[in-house]
Amino acid sequence: MKKKNDRSPRPRQRLLKIYRRLEKAYGPQGWWPAKGDFEMIVGAILTQNTSWANVTRALDNLQRAGLLTPKKMAGLAAVELGGHIRPAGYFRQKSRTLKEFLRFLREGYRGNLEDMLASGQEKLRAGLLGVRGIGPETADSIVLYAGHYPVFVVDAYTGRIFRCQGLIAEGAKYAEIQGMVMAGLEPDERLFNEFHALLVHLGKTHCRKNPRCEGCPLIRDRVSSIS
DNA sequence: GGCCAGGACACCA
DNA sequence: TGGTGTCATGGC
């Protein structure tokens, strides 16, 4: 017999414990690192399987060329756009994805970004997932960080850290990990924003450099951890 | 010179 | 449905 409130207390407590420890260790992250919604979206596409340092180079190129608006970027041929975003890697694919996104924005919302973002969490997510080159992580990042809807973003670091913490099984898929978090925590845009940002921060600054987890802020009561 | 980085998709069995 | 190859640049 299921309880009325489906949120089981154990994952919830463990998730909150992780969140609080990271918050204490690293402080507020203030994500997403972008000046506006369009830059956020472009960054989300450019960062697919790419280090953020390379993304910022590509964003700088676009900024210098005055291309960080939907209108300006839409007026550019895919090949030319690819030239600007080259430092972010996969530039042909990402150039096409950006153009596909701009087409979605134009055809669905007459190019109005605010209208698109205000269209509602489910509609926005489904629409973005319909854009070739935008998958669940990129769509959810946009829904959360530009749309400000309470959806939890799963990325490679999240999966790695939650596996390490024994919260999810080896091979758990995106929807499974996301479902675990969203069933465990109340929908809270600010919490999901900070939580994801903190997990990425832990992954970048710690996990990547310490595969044996020495000094991990999430491990205080264990000598070693699953590597 | 190899490995990895804030994924997504096509193709095949 | 799951496994594999492909896309590409730049830092370590």
Q: Which residues contact A176 (CB under 8 A, 6 or more apart)?
A: A168
What's the number of domains chain A is made of? 2
Average pLDDT, chain A: 93
- CA of residue A204 to C1' of nucleotide B2, angstroms: 20
Q: What's the predicted TM-score (pTM) here?
A: 0.94
Asked if the structure places residue A74 within a domain, the reply is: yes
Q: What is the distance in angstroms measured between the alpha-carbon CA of A20 and the sugar C1' of B3?
A: 33
**What's the one-letter identity of residue A141?**
S
Nucleotide nearest to A86 (CA to C1'): C9
Q: Are residue A48 and residue A137 in the same domain, yes or no?
A: yes
User: So what's the pLDDT on residue A208?
Assistant: 85
How large is the average pLDDT for residues A125-132?
98
The band of A1, judged by pLDDT with boundaries at 50, 70 and 90, is: very low
Asked, as a colleague might, if the bond just before A52 is cis with ω within 30 of 0, I would say no
Residue A211, pLDDT > 90, answer no
The answer to whether residues A63 and A132 belong to one domain is yes
Report residue A221's pLDDT band, with 50, 70 and 90 as the boundaries.
low
Is A195 a member of any domain? yes
- For residues A71-96, give the mean pLDDT: 98
Each residue's pLDDT tens digit, A99-108: 999 999 999 9
pLDDT reported for residue A7: 58
The domain that contains A122 carries what CATH number? 1.10.340.30
Q: How confident is the model at residue A202 (pLDDT cuts 50, 70, 90)?
A: very high
Task: Assess whether pLDDT exceeds 90 at residue A2.
Answer: no
Q: How confident is the model at residue A8, as a pLDDT?
A: 57
Domain annotation covers residue A221: no
Distance of alpha carbon A206 from alpha carbon A216, whole angstroms: 7
Structure tokens at A123: 């509609």
Strand C CB shell (< 7 Å): A 49-51, 53-54, 57, 86-94, 171, 173
The pLDDT value given to residue A227: 34
A11 touches strand B (CB under 7 A): no
- For residue A55, the model assigns a pLDDT of 98
> Please, what sign has the CA dihedral across residues A143, A148, A151, A153?
positive
Give the domain range for residue A74. Answer: 37-145
Is residue A66 assigned to a domain? yes
In which band, very low, low, confident or very high, does the pLDDT at A67 lie, cut at 50, 70 and 90?
Answer: very high
